[in-house]
Structure formats: C-alpha cells, structure tokens
Structure 1
Amino acid sequence: MLAGWQPTSPDAAAARQHTLDLLADGPLALSREHLPGHVTASALVFDTTGSQVLLCLHGKLHKWVQLGGHCELGDLTLAGAALREATEESGIAGLRIDPVPIDVNLHPVNCQGGSVSVHHDVRFAVFAPAEAVAQVSAESEALGWFPPDQLPHPLAGGTARLVAPGLAAFRRASPRPAP
C-alpha cells in the first residue's frame, strides 16, 4: 500500500521511503519488539461537518495528539489498526476510515525498558458519525474536539500537518448534494 501511495509532503515522502526500508525486515517491523523501529498507525478523527477534529491529551507525552498506536496481531491492514486504535481511544462506535494514508511520520519514542525506538507512523483520516460522543480511555488524560485552525497546546510534533491532507480526505469522502 505504501509503495503506491502519493505522499502529501516532502517529509511524508522521506518517511515513506524509510518505512518501506524498515518493512524489508518482514513482519517483525510491525511489532513493538523490533526496537530499531516499528510501524504504528494513527488517525485524525473529524466530526460530520469537518469543522472539528478529535485529539487526545496523551497520558505519557502530556501533549495533544491524534489517536493511534501499535499494531496488534489481529490487525490485517494499517488502516484497520488505525481504525481499531481510534475506536478504542475515543469510545466512539461507527467510525469510518479513508483507507488512503494522509501522512507518514517518523518520531523517536521510549519503548520497552526505556530504550529509544522509532515509530514509523502511518496516519489516516477517520470520520465520526453524527451521534458521536467521545469517552476518555486509559491511555489519555482528556479528549477534545477542536477547530482544525485552532489546535490546542502543547501539541505533539507532526499533528498540525495532518489537518490539510485530512481535510482533503474529508472532502473526498463527503457525499455531494444532488444537482
């Protein structure tokens, strides 16, 4: 999927290539046990109007960030992993995902036993149903809906750059009114 993906920025293009190189290590590259780095999946969740995005105040980072995390054995695709993570972390049933990534980002994290690893995060746009009510999970301190042009602080690096490609995905996914 990443090999044929059209990157949304020069940074995303470089991150995609590094991620494709990492995936040459095989399925282990999807596991947090692969300490040099591993693939993760995340989602920028939009409300039904596209005028609000859902972010979580991450419990360990103490920064606002999109929802997401590690791939699990039952995840068949990266989009599926991102959708599972968004559902678990938001408590919202009925989320829909655009299966085309909106970004790929590399960032160092402290993983198992305090060692530093690199997350190769493949990011997607996700759309909440009209009746969506978010519920804080054990992984976050808070959840909040924010206008895309008024994101909260402190904000995790790379989160703001998801807005433009996420809104483009929202426009592609939104039904057009009949003429």
Structure 2
Amino acid sequence: MTATGTGTTSTLHADAVRTLTDWRPADQDQEQLRLDYLAHLAEQPEGVYRSCLPAHLTASAAVIDPAAGRVLLTLHPKVGMWLQMGGHCEPGDADLASAALREAVEESGIPDLTLLRENGAPVPAKLDRHQVRCTGKDRPENTHLDVQYIALAPAGAQALISEESLDLRWFDFDRLPELTDHSVRDLVARARRLTA
C-alpha cells in the first residue's frame, strides 16, 4: 500500500472509505451521497485524485470564527463565486481531514486552524457533488465529490489572501454575500449549528 496513489490503492483511499463508512449523516440526501461516494471508491482505486475522470473526491472546509459569528470565504477565480476553502487531494495527504485542513490553511493564510471533532476525530459536516471544469475551460466538465469539514479559527484571526483567490473576506453568518450558492449557505448553517 502506498500514499502516492500509484499502487492498487492508497492510504488516502483507505482513509476515505473508512471516513465515509463510519460517518452517519443526519438526512437521507446526505446518506445517498455517502453511499454514492463509497460506490465510486469501490470502483475507482485512484478515485481520490484529480487524474480520476470523470469524477474524483475533493476536500474542503468552512473556516469559521465562532466567537465572532463569522465565516471566511474566498472569491474563486474560475467560478466567480464566494466559496469555502478547498480543492484536490494530493499524493502527500494521509487522509481526507488533512487534505481539507491543508487547503484551508493554504487558502486562508491562518496557520493555527483546527478541524471540528467528534469523539476526538475530525468528521465531515456534509457532502456536496457538483460539476466543474478542473481540467481546463475547453475540456468537458467532471464531477467533484466534495467532503466538507469545519475549520475553527482562533478568535480575531487575520486572514492572508493567497494567489488562488481573487478576494478573501470574513462575513457574518447572517450576511453572506449574494454570490454564494445553496451548498455554501447550507455548509455555513451547519457550521453555525455545530459550533453554537
């Protein structure tokens, strides 16, 4: 078994299967997505990497400052919308939670983020399946099977924009920007409930 994704399976793939097998979502739509993700992983040994087309897992996190009741969103240059931090898994990622946390730290510039935990371990907040053109604007759409976490920022944390963003801003939970979609709004609502 290898963590590079070049063998028949990887440490990351095994973690994704374990994470999604153990996770119990609260609603039927999320349960169906969980089963769909597991079916994808059963069919695709490389299903956690961007090279797996037409679908692959991704990892993301809503960065929140619970003390201030705010969420940090990035204005994504390709999508033109305010989104949570996240992206593709990389060969060095040991598990989905680490991939989500790595992306959140890189894109937020906040080094001391921690993922929300349940029984001592990071757990997904929700799943989201969406179409994107991550292989290029002139290439066919493919499917991101996003595993979404909640990253907790220290009170008063200062964000630092990366080259991956057009803009980076904190928004009050009750005043999300217009250019967000239902998935982001749902993730923020879940984060708010889980950290209240």
- Judge same fold: TM > 0.5, yes or no: yes
Report what 1:58 is aligned to. Answer: 76
Report what 1:38 is aligned to. Answer: 56
Structure 1's 97 and 50: CA in aligned 2 closer, same or farther, altered over 3 A?
farther
The answer on whether the counterparts of 1:41 and 1:68 sit within 8 Å (CA) in structure 2 is: yes
Whichever residue aligns with residue 129 of structure 1, its letter is P
Report what 1:73 is aligned to. Answer: 91
Note the residue ranges of structure 1 that are not aligned, 5 or more in a row.
Answer: 172-179
State the shift of 1:164 in Å.
Answer: 2.9
SS of the residue corresponding to residue 115 of structure 1 reads: coil
Report what 2:150 is aligned to. Answer: 125
Report what 2:127 is aligned to. Answer: 104
2:107 to 89, 94, 97: 89
2:140 to 115, 118, 141: 115
1:153 to 159, 178, 192: 178
Counterparts of 1:82 and 1:19, CA distance in 2: 17
Whichever residue aligns with residue 159 of structure 2, its letter is A
- Identity of matched residues, %: 44
Structure 1's 26 and 122: CA in aligned 2 closer, same or farther, altered over 3 A?
same
Structure 1's 52 and 138: CA in aligned 2 closer, same or farther, altered over 3 A?
same
Whichever residue aligns with residue 100 of structure 1, its letter is V
State the shift of 1:166 in Å.
Answer: 1.2
Counterparts of 2:194 and 2:90, CA distance in 1: 25
* CA-to-aligned-CA distance 1:71-114 (integer Å, 9 cap, x gap): 00111111110000000001111000021111001001112242
Note the residue ranges of structure 2 that are not aligned, 5 or more in a row.
Answer: 1-18, 117-121
Report what 1:175 is aligned to. Answer: none
Structure 1's 29 and 78: CA in aligned 2 closer, same or farther, altered over 3 A?
same
Aligned residues, how many? 171
* CA-to-aligned-CA distance 1:105-145 (integer Å, 9 cap, x gap): 10011122422110000000110123521111111111111
Counterparts of 2:61 and 2:127, CA distance in 1: 11
State the shift of 1:11 in Å.
Answer: 2.6
Structure 1's 156 and 139: CA in aligned 2 closer, same or farther, altered over 3 A?
farther
Whichever residue aligns with residue 101 of structure 1, its letter is P
Whichever residue aligns with residue 122 of structure 1, its letter is V
SS of the residue corresponding to residue 72 of structure 1 reads: coil
Structure 1's 31 and 166: CA in aligned 2 closer, same or farther, altered over 3 A?
same
TM-score, normalised with respect to structure 1: 0.89
Counterparts of 1:81 and 1:8, CA distance in 2: 24
SS of the residue corresponding to residue 123 of structure 1 reads: strand
TM-score, normalised with respect to structure 2: 0.82
SS of the residue corresponding to residue 28 of structure 1 reads: coil
Whichever residue aligns with residue 169 of structure 2, its letter is G
The answer on whether the counterparts of 2:68 and 2:155 sit within 8 Å (CA) in structure 1 is: no
Q: Is 1:138 matched with 2:163?
A: yes
* Greater Cα shift, 108-117 or 133-142: 108-117
Whichever residue aligns with residue 34 of structure 1, its letter is C
